Structure 1
Amino acid sequence: MRSGGIDLSTDPRKTGVATIDWHADGARLTHVALGADDDDLVALVDRADRTGVDCPLGWPTAFVDYVVAHRDGGLDLDVPLSRAPLLLRATDRYVVERVGVRPLSVSAERIGATAMRCAAVLSRLVRAGTVVDRTGGSGAVVETYPAAALKIWGLPYRTYKGSSAEARTVRARLLEELAASVPWLDLGGHEPFCLDHDDALDAVVCALVAGLVLHGRCEPAPPDAVQDARTEGWIALPPAGLSDDPPLVPPARPRQGSP
Structure 2
Amino acid sequence: MTDPLSDTVRAAWTAGRAARNGWLTVPDPHLVEVVAAHAAGHGLLDALTLDLQHGLFDRARSADAVRAIAAHGLTPLVRLPAVDESIIGFVLDLGVRGVIAPMVSDAATAAELVAACRYPPDGRRSFGPVRTALRPGDDPVAVADSVLAFAMIETAGALDRAAEIAAVPGLDGLFVGPGDLGVALGIGPAQNREEPAIHDAFARVLAACAASGTRAAVHATDPAYAAARAADGFALVTAWSDVPAILGSMDGVRAAF
- TM-score, normalization by structure 1: 0.30
